[in-house]
């Protein structure tokens, strides 16, 4: 298998795992000293919902690259106005709001595009030499 196909196969998966870890980091603010352990666990689970949803999308994208790529792209594009408006309404500047969009929504769009590119590259590779066994 070509090195470019292998790299393009793994890059979106690795970036997605890193994005999930980055989003999960924000759940750590669920720990407060005045809360009971059960309240902290419940609050942690609530804060981890975006990470759990992204893990579900990653599982879908791992199995069906095109569908996962489309879903990641749509999620990222759908989050752009929500994240921007939320941060702008919190008395943030336009630049700060755009920065939050770039940190949270933009990586999802990139991940989606990379999954779609991986799908098309692997499809072309199979068409060129169908006798080769493609890792699935």
- 53, part of any domain: yes
- 93, part of any domain: yes
- 8, part of any domain: yes
d(CA 59, CA 83): 24
> pLDDT per residue over 2-24, tens digit each?
888 889 999 999 999 999 999 99
Contact 10, 16 (CB under 8 A): no
Number of domains in the chain: 1
- 136, part of any domain: no
- 14, part of any domain: yes
**Model-level pTM?**
0.83
Residue 91, sorted as left (phi over 0), alpha (psi -120 to 50) or beta, turns out to be left
d(CA 81, CA 99): 13
Domain, as residue range, for 89 = 3-128
- 133, part of any domain: no
Contact 103, 74 (CB under 8 A): no
> pLDDT per residue over 63-114, tens digit each?
999 999 999 999 999 999 999 999 999 877 899 999 999 999 999 999 999 9
């Amino acid at each position: 298998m070509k090195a470019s196909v292998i790299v393009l196969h793994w890059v979106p998966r690795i970036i997605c795992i890193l994005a999930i870890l980055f989003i999960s980091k924000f759940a750590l603010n669920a720990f407060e000293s005045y809360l009971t352990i059960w309240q902290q666990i419940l609050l942690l689970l609530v804060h981890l919902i975006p990470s759990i949803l992204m893990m579900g999308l990653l599982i879908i994208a791992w199995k069906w690259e095109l569908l996962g790529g489309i879903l990641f792209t749509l999620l990222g594009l759908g989050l752009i106005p929500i994240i921007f408006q939320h941060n702008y309404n919190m008395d943030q500047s336009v630049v700060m709001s755009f920065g939050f969009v770039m940190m949270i929504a933009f990586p999802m769009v990139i991940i989606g595009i990379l999954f779609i590119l991986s799908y098309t590259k692997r499809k072309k590779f199979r068409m060129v030499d169908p006798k080769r066994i493609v890792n699935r």
